[in-house]
Copies of this chain bind each other. A is one copy, B any other.
Amino acid sequence: MRTSQYLLSTLKETPSDAEIVSHQLMLRAGMIRKLASGLYTWLPTGVRVLRHVERIVREEMNRAGAVETMMPVVQPADLWQETGRWEKFGPELLRIADRHQRDFVLGPTHEEVITHLARNEINSYKQLPLNLYQIQTKFRDEVRPRFGVMRSREFTMKDAYSFDIDKAGMEQSYEKMRAAYCAIFDRMGLDYRAVLADTGAIGGSASHEFHVLADSGEDLIAFSTESDYAANIEKAEALAPQAQADSPTQAMALVDTPNAKTIAELVEQFDLPIEKTVKTLFVKASEQVESDLIALIIRGDHELNEVKAENLPEVEAPLTFATEEEIRELVGAGPGSLGPVNLPAPFIVDRSVAVMSDFGAGANTDDKHYFGINWGRDVELGQVADLRNVIEGDPSPCGKGTLMFKRGIEVGHIFQLGNNYSQKMNAGVLGQDGKNAMLEMGCYGIGITRVVAAAIEQNHDQNGIIWPDAIAPFKVAIVPMNMHKSERVREAAEKLYTDLTAAGIEVLFDDRKERPGVMFSDIELVGVPHTIVIGERSMDNGVFEYKHRRDGEKVPFSIDDALTFIQSKLD
């Protein structure tokens, strides 16, 4: 590609509304432009990267035996009504009406459509296993789209769905996809991890997320220091402490605490170790609990894990915190003065809290706390659960080593759905035993557009993007010095461009009438991995100069062996 016939559209200034590096660099490098909130036009450089990502995904999905399909973006409401998601899904599901006032959605995902297809097309165990995928536009009407294509409203997904006759088959299909995902992210040259994940709103029994590691990642991933255990912090289990609670050494005492509404204030004003305090948080209870609200109690220095809380059968999903008004009506005290003693509501205690002794907590009366509380003696312990986020140094749930954290960007997610959807939509097939069985399904997503942004978060420096070869928009840039004045340089550059292009290498030939400095900074911003500099002075010595985007060191190489030399750099 000649720059003169291309839409490079690089920007010198960093757009002020771009908060994260990948968003800034995608704008500056001429990869995307905002059309409206959460809607982006992909410029040529962006599309080139996107097509490489798609190609690698498609090749590896095919290699793993998955078969490509294409489902509509616009989906009829009745399928979503069958699974109950028409009501359950939040306003992210954009519901629309056509000219005849029939209801549709812009698909944020395609479980309903594929299960509908499966119940019509798959009749017998002989057709199984089967894995169908597509690479398609999706839409989620995010309340606050941000971070460019990282959290946009319209985006491209690869979504795959496996169908098996039984659970063992589904697990095999799932393992195949896990391996295919590793092959995909390996080929893209990304540093990533497959981590245990919560199954969330999609449902199902087991799940892994694939994260591109980057300091700017929104997700915290917990790793074992001594095994390959890795889990999203949402999912990572905080093991129950092995020690029992110490015996009481203090009597319980009611203390006036008029200026201590928070744990920090309590600790500061009363010289109490934070490990001897608890937080009591009210959330909406599920229907199986008689009370409207239920309290969750965690240690003062811990954080509630909202996903673990929401997964408890006693807690209503989605997780909803009680308002101060609701708490006052129930308890007669504000949120800053709550605790387990004399609490007029059911509560669940975190595993770490269950082994505390002589601890302090609100007295369920404004401006008062109890100190020296002990379980059993002062209040019954009741239900215990894993409620908190793990912290670095916690023992790993795998039994080996302790946990350490890294940040990641989720780019893929695989689920064992089981018969969640097939049951609701009556997608059964004839088994080998002659009986009808519900399809066992898995589903497998990759955020194609998101991968592009995640790759940049992981691979950039102060001058711009540093693409891994496999997904670079161009592998090689040719930068001729003063070509418009030197016929010799022009001829050499044209010849090299012709030779490299004929060898199937994607080349950006900067044939603009620009100063070398402008060309170099554009090439660095765009992130082309390999640059060839052609100038009169080095040509006098029979060489061109090579530099790699990562180190920038200039290496002369013989003009006569140019193609061979460059190919060796690409391999």
A-to-B contact residues, CB < 8 Å: 1, 4-7, 9, 33, 35-36, 39-44, 46-48, 50-51, 65, 67-76, 91, 94, 96, 98-99, 102, 104, 106, 113, 116-117, 120-122, 126-127, 130, 132, 134, 137, 139, 141, 143, 153-154
Contact = CB atoms under 8 A, between A and B. Distances in A.
B65 A42 contact: no
Contacts of A120: 33
A71 B35 contact: yes
A137 B132 CA distance: 20
Contact of A154 (B65, B73, B117): B73
B41 A71 contact: yes
A69 B44 contact: yes
A76 B38 CA distance: 11
A35 B121 CA distance: 13
Contact of A6 (B6, B67, B70, B71): B67
Give the one of A71, A99, A113, A132 with max B CB within 10 A: A99
Contacts of A132: 7, 44
Contact of A47 (B42, B70, B106, B130): B70
18 contacts: A1-B67, A4-B126, A5-B67, A6-B67, A7-B121, A7-B127, A7-B130, A7-B132, A35-B113, A36-B102, A39-B76, A40-B72, A41-B117, A44-B132, A73-B73, A74-B154, A94-B98, A96-B96
A102 B5 CA distance: 37
Contacts of A51: 68
A165 to B, nearest CB: 14
Contacts of A113: 35, 41
A143 to B, nearest CB: 7
Contacts of A44: 67-69, 132
Question: Which 3 A-B residue pairs are closest in the complex by CB-CB distance?
Answer: A42-B70, A36-B76, A39-B72
A5 B35 contact: no
Given A35-B76, A76-B35, A117-B33, A70 B41 contact: yes
Give the one of A51, A106, A120 with max B CB within 10 A: A106
Contacts of A76: 35-36, 39
A33 B106 contact: no
Nearest to A116: B35
Contact of A50 (B70, B117, B126): B70
Contacts of A43: 69, 121
A72 B33 contact: no
Given A44-B67, A91-B99, A121-B33, A72 B154 contact: yes
Nearest to A79: B35
A113 B42 CA distance: 12
Contacts of A40: 72
Nearest to A513: B126
A464 B567 CA distance: 47
A74 B7 contact: no
A98 to B, nearest CB: 5
B41 A74 contact: no
A43 B133 CA distance: 10
Contacts of A6: 67
Contact of A98 (B35, B42, B121, B141): B141
A106 to B, nearest CB: 7
Nearest to A48: B68
A30 to B, nearest CB: 8
Contacts of A4: 126
Given A39-B74, A50-B70, 6 more contacts: A35-B71, A35-B75, A42-B71, A46-B70, A72-B154, A73-B137
A55 B68 CA distance: 15
A127 to B, nearest CB: 7
A141 B39 contact: no
B74 A139 contact: yes
A245 B120 CA distance: 67
Contact of A9 (B48, B102, B121, B126): B121
